[in-house]
Amino acid sequence: MNDIKMNPYKFLTIVTAFVLVSALSLSSCTSDLNKMPTNGITNSEQYSTVAGYKQSLVSLFSNLAYNNFLRYYWEMQEYPTDEAVGTWDDDGNTGEYHKLDWSADLTAINNLYTVVMTNITYCNNFINEASDANVAKRGFTGTDAATIKQYLAEAKFLRAYFYWIMMDEYANPPFATEQTLGQSNPTQIKRDALFDWIEAQLKSIDTDLPDPKTNEWGLPDKAAEWSLLARMYLNASVYTDTARYTDAITYCNKVINAGYSLEPCYNWLMLGDNYKNTNEFIFTINYKNSMETWGGTNFLSLGAAGVPSTVNGLSSSWGEFRTTSALVNLFPSTDTLTDKRAEFWTTGQTLDITSISSQTDGYSFYKYRNVDRSGQAIVQNNSYGNLSDIDFPVFRLAEIYLIYAEAVLRGGSGGSMSTALSYINQLRGRAYANNPQSTAGNITLSQLTLNFILDERARELYWEAQRRTDLVRYNKLTTADYLWPWKGNVAAGKAVDSKYNIFPIPTSDLLANPNLTQNTGY
């Protein structure tokens, strides 16, 4: 077995100063987007060995965990929806998210933008250094050159993932690659053109990525690439005005046929020993409590309002976020006796939200817990005694099943309604009986509708940074078709301007880069 599979955090211990710096150290993003990061190590020293390339590659992926990327991304994907409201209104006034009433001047809007664009710069630098020309110039041949080519493919996957986020959140971002390093003020790329570029990039690296389930835990393989393509194709009508549901089914089938299966227990998915979930998890962001961060899954486990330390395996709750009654009403009950995914924390919490800023208004969840499968808290190896070991699944098989079913319902070819129903009932069998093969939660073919899929996605994937994208795809984020408490800053909810289906380009970057034009309506 691969040694990283046995010790999934080994790679976190070899992070170098080459890349692991705070992305927020850049006051303006696009003015630095084409610059190469500097440090005390020269490129000739860093890239003189295969090990040096590996250290730099691992640093790129460690930045997913340790520069607040996941925290900022989660806030933008969850707070504008029915799934989460925030107490603190911190991280740059995130309270405006749930109201769907933000502007380009909001600091919170700039947080994710800066982190992602800075990481794209790091990826561009590595991709340049791992080019065929530079590898040959440094005298690498044979197995060593092939290994570096795999690293190159993994870095290109990560860059494609970051650009997918920019396409999904900001639509028309600045665009820079390894070919523009050293140039100032990158040009802006349109959403449909960026979609085509990401698609081509992912397909170009397919042969160089490791086969499914053969790479180190936390690094991508072919199945991660296929999963990102499937997610993109499901949302293609949003990004390009052209449906790609048949392609979504094609890539779902690739993942499904690669040997993945559902873990038997839903409540195993977000525990401190969830690195064991190799059956279901396809690509993860990894955490270890010996590495300090107040973002990531530390934020997700401690931030859930009201959850005590005896449950979350850490300290008492920060009281940061709760959910709305709209999401609660999608479950048959507020306990796990029926649907085991209903991990609501109700003690000391009210169902209804009178005040967004009250940490006791709205039920919470105990989905993320830093305990092992037996319920024992993970031993802490830090001075805080309060850091998470929970890995975050960027892609897992359950999502692929849901993409498949939705794509079939939307008219894609290459799948069948009977297979779609089987996949959904496997999710529900696990949810109702800790057994994907159980019939306890089964629905019938007539019940399998697009609206059912949207609700099932909420029940299965809540608080996993999916909901905003789902509601946009269903045209429910901004319209009156679906209302939830405090949507539009009204207690009963109301429709808002359709411009809020995407975020604005931050004002700071518009001022820094004359090549950028603001998104419509801002």
Residue 397 inside a domain? The answer is: no
CA angle 387, 349, 334 (to 5 degrees): 90
Which CATH number characterizes residue 49's domain? 1.25.40.390
**Comparing C-alpha atoms, which of 471, 93, 419, 395 is closest to residue 229?**
395
Residue 84 inside a domain? The answer is: yes
Residue 214 inside a domain? The answer is: no
**Six-digit token pair at 327?**
């999401």
Residue 489 inside a domain? The answer is: yes
The residues near 209 (Cβ < 8 Å, ≥ 6 apart) are 150, 153, 154, 157, 215, 220, 221, 222, 224, 225
pLDDT tens sequence for the chain (522 residues): 333 333 344 444 334 333 333 333 333 455 555 554 545 678 889 999 999 999 999 999 999 999 899 999 999 999 999 999 999 887 888 889 999 999 999 999 999 999 999 999 999 999 999 999 999 999 999 999 999 999 999 999 999 999 999 999 999 999 999 999 988 899 999 999 999 999 999 999 999 999 999 999 999 999 999 999 999 999 999 999 999 999 999 999 999 999 999 999 999 999 999 999 999 999 999 999 999 899 999 999 999 999 999 999 998 789 999 999 999 999 999 999 999 999 999 999 999 999 999 999 999 999 999 999 999 999 999 999 899 999 999 999 999 999 999 999 999 999 999 999 999 999 999 999 999 999 999 999 999 999 999 999 999 999 999 999 999 999 999 999 999 999 999 999 999 999 999 999 999 999 999 999 999 999
Residue 288 inside a domain? The answer is: no
Count of domains forming the chain: 1
Q: How far apart are CA 211 and CA 314, in angstroms?
A: 36
Residue 448 inside a domain? The answer is: no
Residue 156 inside a domain? The answer is: yes
pTM of the model: 0.94
Residue 136's domain spans which residues? 9-209+479-522
Residue 413 inside a domain? The answer is: no
Neighbours of 147 (CB within 10 A): 15
Q: Phi/psi at 116 (nearest 5 deg)?
A: -70, -45
